Structure 1
């Protein structure tokens, strides 16, 4: 299959290689921003994020802006009818957040379909669930997604409010994990934790003031790891919906870790457990 667009509006037909387009990218509706492109669309950028989205059969794509070099470095070929507009890097920079590392690729697509909690609670009990309480920084959430996918978590659960939307910034930090890790967004996080418990998961909240270490608190069975926002930590109501609180054994000279680093360590500890 070939990589091409159509002949209208400056796009290239198949088999034709002209000069790279310039100027139009920055003047398009929904130009520079955080990753939203209007009418419900999401704009993704960066090699890993865009390539993963293109390879995701559950993702509906609209249009790709790219340099020729970046297109050549993609894994596999684009469908013959895929809309591509070739542009130079300076033009692509106008389509994304300021100073965002687009790496020559900007993809406009529809958001992923909703995932429901019931869809993930029957997963392999060795695969943990990550629950985030009001972690709002898209860089942190994306990094946590990347670690969760790396350590074979079955899902990430966030509140629908007080959590970042699907965006280019989050997808770039997730480095492709957004496309493969189920993301459950719920209205009531406390109620979701009750459902997680009913499904047989032991809920461990990470808290610096806890007496037990995570290694001491981890069960042999299904586990949900609950993390709160940096600074404030978990809300009291969410703490009350945990079966245990645990801390990471960090040195006393450091008060805490970045939430994404803490999540990565906790996920490793969960993955390293020995199951009967």
Structure 2
């Protein structure tokens, strides 16, 4: 898989997943030296080429002057996420995505989840964007650190999590309970639905509670990745 973007490529180099790096001629010397040092440590070849070649290979001009040939991003398992919380001796914080098909939203949620201390993200197999270079670039390297798992049936997974003492909160703009008034102590799963449609009816019914983000403007809804970031922050704030 071709990965592009400075942060994603550098994280993949540190993670040992890169077989070759392609740098655009003319990138600033300081960045080229940083890439060369990381590549030398990893035993990876760096090749310089015209920027137009990178444009063609990446299918975009937003590659920031660097591409890497990397092993495909691998899905984790839900058990990996549960084990991560247990090993850290922390209350579980897991993000469940119901119908997030935009790869940039998907990547942005992964990034927020990693930054704000979640233990993993789970999507339903048939209702999600794939793990792709766009997801990895938007996640800015977070895919190297945060387990991202698939499940065949999200409502069934919610039932299983509840059996393990996880309290499930669904994001809903019309919910009467604002997130900043919720005590998020204990094991928590946050469910984020698709933009426009929100959560499916069955997923919504499986939630223990619905929470909202108060809005004051004329636009009454937030981008799904922004909503996820705000709710993750509220969990972190509540726990601190």
Q: TM-score if structure 1 supplies the norm length? A: 0.78
**1:110 maps to 2:67:** no
Match of 2:8 in 1: 49
**Equivalent pair of 1:125/1:221 in contact (CA under 8 Å):** no
The 5 Å alignment of 1:47-196 reads 47-57=6-16, 59=17, 61-67=18-24, 69=27, 70-74=31-35, 76-79=37-40, 81-99=43-61, 101-122=62-83, 123=85, 124-196=89-161
**Equivalent pair of 2:110/2:142 in contact (CA under 8 Å):** yes
Divergent runs of 4+, >4 A: none
Structure 1 position 195, deviation (Å):
2.0
Instruction: Give the whole-Å Cα distance in 2 for the aligned partners of 1:170 and 1:114.
Output: 13
Structure 1 position 219, deviation (Å):
3.1
**Equivalent pair of 1:204/1:217 in contact (CA under 8 Å):** no
Relative to structure 1, the CA distance from residue 250 to residue 172 in structure 2 (aligned partners, 3 Å threshold; closer, same or farther) is: same
Instruction: Give the whole-Å Cα distance in 1 for the aligned partners of 2:205 and 2:82.
Output: 21
**Equivalent pair of 1:121/1:196 in contact (CA under 8 Å):** no
DSSP 3-state at the match of 2:2: strand
User: Higher Cα Rg: structure 1 or 2?
Assistant: 1
Match of 1:24 in 2: none
Instruction: Give the whole-Å Cα distance in 1 for the aligned partners of 2:198 and 2:134.
Output: 23
Instruction: Give the whole-Å Cα distance in 1 for the aligned partners of 2:166 and 2:72.
Output: 29
Structure 1 position 66, deviation (Å):
1.5
Structure 1 residues without counterparts, runs of 5 or longer: 1-41
Paired residues, number: 231
Give the number of the structure whose residues are more often helix, by fraction: 2
Instruction: Give the whole-Å Cα distance in 2 for the aligned partners of 1:254 and 1:95.
Output: 38
**Equivalent pair of 2:10/2:38 in contact (CA under 8 Å):** no
Structure 1 position 154, deviation (Å):
0.4
TM-align CA RMSD: 1.9
With 237-246 and 82-91 compared, the bigger mean Cα shift is at 82-91
